[in-house]
Amino acid sequence: MATQIVMDRTGDTRHNFDAKNADALLKAEVRFRELTGAGFTAAVRAASGEAVVKRTFDPNAEETLFFPRLVGG
Amino acid sequence: MRNAKERPRLFLSECGRRARVLRHRLRRQPDRIDPSSRFVPGFRYGYGEREARGLELLKEWLSPEQFAQYDAKSYFEVTGCHSGKRYRISHGISMNIHELDGAGRPRVGWCFAPKGYLVAGDVMLAQKIALETDERGALAVANTFFVPTGRRNTLPHY
């Protein structure tokens, strides 16, 4: 089971999906495009534990984190 | 003369009354936290739970060294991917990033955060990922703030 975690005012919203299911994968890809198109940054954890930013949808990612556009404080 | 004495007494009495009303109103607010968040509808309710979830997520994404540091000191350090500079991210949602000098002392403050009302754990995680993966992009939107170094006090007195 793969997960897309979206940071929001409720803490975070998690979308779990079966990466082997073509429909679920398509939905996840659409969500990825919508979020990144809206300014969210998508990041995954590499095997070493380091965060890696993803510009395109990675169907093999176990966990993808989305955080909103950065602004100066 | 009587008026001059009466006026401060009335003023203090009115101040006391207003303070009592304010105290009463604040007591009636459940789950009260940061005063600023009271102006965001629906934000304060269940804040503790959201705060805990945010911290849980942060801890999952911290390296073991960063986790240990955060656990002990409420801050952790990251390395900027472009400059190799060290930054200290302290627990908080704003004005919580300090660029460190070679000796590990705060040199300058940087302020940036993800847009919207996010809990501290989420904000710190976004700041960490931004500095580790796109330092220049993060600092391009950031504002700087002065960090007192205390060096002033070390100047000799003449």
Q: Do A10 and B50 touch (CB under 8 A)?
A: yes
For chain A, the three-class secondary structure string (H helix, E strand, C coil) is CEEEEEEECCEEEEEEECCCCHHHHHHHHHHHHHHHHCCCEEEEECCCCCEEEECCCCCCCCEEEEECCEEEC
B27 versus B66: which is more confidently predicted?
B66
At residue B32 the predicted structure's pLDDT band, cuts being 50, 70 and 90, is very low
> By percentage, how much of chain B surpasses pLDDT 70?
73
- pLDDT at position B36 is 47
Backbone φ and ψ of B36, nearest 5° = -65, -30
Q: Give the model's pLDDT for residue B22.
A: 64
The CA-based dihedral angle spanning residues A20, A26, A31, A34, taken in that order and rounded to the nearest 10 degrees = 150
At B43 the pLDDT is: 53
Task: Tell me the C-alpha distance between B124 and A64, whole Å.
Answer: 17
What confidence tens digit (pLDDT) does each residue in B144-158 have? 999 987 655 444 444
Domain spans in chain B, listed from the N-terminal domain onward: 49-148
Q: What are the residue ranges spanned by the domains of chain A?
A: 2-67
| Location of structure tokens 């109103």 | B25
Q: Are A72 and B112 an interchain contact pair (Cβ–Cβ within 8 Å)?
A: yes
Picking from A11, A68, A72, the nearest residue to B142 by CB comes out as A72
Angle between helices B64-73 and B47-61 (to 10 degrees): 140
Residue A13 phi, psi (nearest 5): -115, 130
Tokens of B121: 């754990």
Q: What is the pTM of this model?
A: 0.78
Q: Which CATH architecture has domain A2-67?
A: Roll (3.10)
- What is the value of ipTM here, to two decimals? 0.96
- What residues of chain A score a pLDDT lower than 70? none
Q: Measure in Å the smallest separation between the Cα of A5 and chain B Cα atoms.
A: 10
